[in-house]
Structure formats: structure tokens, C-alpha cells
Amino acid sequence: MAIFLKNIVNSVNESIRLYKKGKNPWPEGEEGLMVRDHQKMVGGKWDQIGRLQFEFMKKSGLKPEDILCDVACGSFRAGRFFISYLNPGNYLGIEKQQILVQEGKKKEIDPIIWSEKKPEIVISDCFEFDQFSKNPNFAIANSLFTHLSSQDIKLCLAKLFLKAAPGCKFFATYFKSDVKVFHIHKSHSSRRFQYTKSQMINFGEITGWEVEYIGDWKHPVNQVMVCYIKPGTAFSQKEHRSMGD
């Protein structure tokens, strides 16, 4: 009983702390760019986290012929590496803040690379993965679920599930909490949301995914990783093309 009550107290205290912290978030869009640059708007640690994501995905099996969806691609902190690495047309980036995409394209990616690699970008604040012309077999969302309500996490998972190829692996980071936190605020790119391991597993399972908990992956601000896997046999790029013929 004592442990149960302690967990309730901790849960309430953490919920209050995050509520107060999230009352006055940084502005988004063009207004946000007036007070922070395109690198800081996506969390900073530009080279460190961008390279970390890229190397992690390669170690997880990502090959140039694979199709990757970069969920909340922002100003291409990791996207600049993925775009150069993947075959033409195989980078799919989705982002709600168009100004970040514009700044990233202009300041972070060589125009020749952009032209040769033909990344496909969708601007959407409601996860319109159906707008992409291809079905990803890999996806990553770094520091997205850390800013989303549970309802929006489930929306993202449900919509990506419909678009993803069978066997797709979706790697997502989040802030882990030992107790359930009650979030009152709406999703926002500079508000912090945190969840328990069981919550993150449940979000995936109720939206159709199989779930593999990864945990620590050496993220500099201690975001942990979970992998959502769409049931079914993974197809190669060649098989994807033949299915569409």
C-alpha cells in the first residue's frame, strides 16, 4: 500500500511539474524562427543527434534500396544524411512546419544532392502518410513522441500502419517515466511529454503493431527507443516495384 500511494504522489507531482513547464512553450513556425534558428527549433545538438540517428538506422538494417519515412523530419537534422545515402526517391519526409523544411533544404542540403536524390516531402499536421507515392519499410521518429499527447501518438501509429509495407520497422524515441503522467496540454513541439514503457507498448499493440522495446541507444538527453513492427513479410525494393506493375 505504501508503494502504491508513493507512486500516486509521484505521478501527481510530475504531472503538475510538466503542466507548469508547458504553459508557455516556444512559438512555432515563422514566429519561432524569429527567436531560434532552424537547428535549435528541432532541439539543437545538430551533428551529434543527426549522425546518431543515421548510424543507428544503418546498424538496424537500413540499406540504400530501402524506403525510409522520416516522421517529423524538421529541417533535416538526420534527413541530410538519409537523403544522401538512400537511392533516389526513397526518402519520405513528413513535417507540419513548412518553414523548417524550407530552411533545411536551403541551408543544409546541396541543391545537386536534392535534385539527384529526389526526396519526397509532405507538409501535414495530421500525419497524412497516404500522400506519399511509396510504402516505407523503415521509419523513424526521433524526438516526436516526446512532444505528443497519447491521442496524437496513437493517431500517428494508426495512420502509418495503413501506409507502411508489411514488415516495416518504425523506430520511435520517447522520454521514459516510471509512473504514469497525466498530460493536460495539447501536443506542441516544445512541450515535454513522457510515458511509461507499458504505455508505449500498448500504443503500438492497439494500433496493430508488434512491439520490440529497445531502451537506451546512447541518446544525449536520455530519450529511449521502441520499435514498432508491422506484421507480415518484408518485401525487397524489387518486389515492391513488381507488386505495383
Amino acid 94: pLDDT:
98
Q: For the residues of 83-134, what is the DSSP string, one character each?
A: HHHSPTT-EEEEES-HHHHHHHHHHHS-HHHHHHH--EEEE-SS--GGGSSS
Closest of 68, 121, 130 to residue 99, by C-alpha: 121
Helix (H) or strand (E) holding 214: strand 210-215
Report the distance separating Cα 36 and Cα 24, nearest Å. 15
Round the average pLDDT of the chain to a whole number and report it.
86
* Spans of the chain, pLDDT less than 70: 1-44, 46, 234-245
Give residues with Cβ within 8 angstroms of 96, minimum separation 6. Answer: 72, 123, 124, 125
pLDDT per residue as tens digits for the range 137-186: 999 999 999 999 999 999 999 999 999 999 999 999 999 999 999 888 89
pTM for this prediction:
0.83
Domains present along the chain, CATH in parentheses? 2-244 (3.40.50.150)
Report the distance separating Cα 189 and Cα 72, nearest Å. 10
Report the distance separating Cα 121 and Cα 92, nearest Å. 6
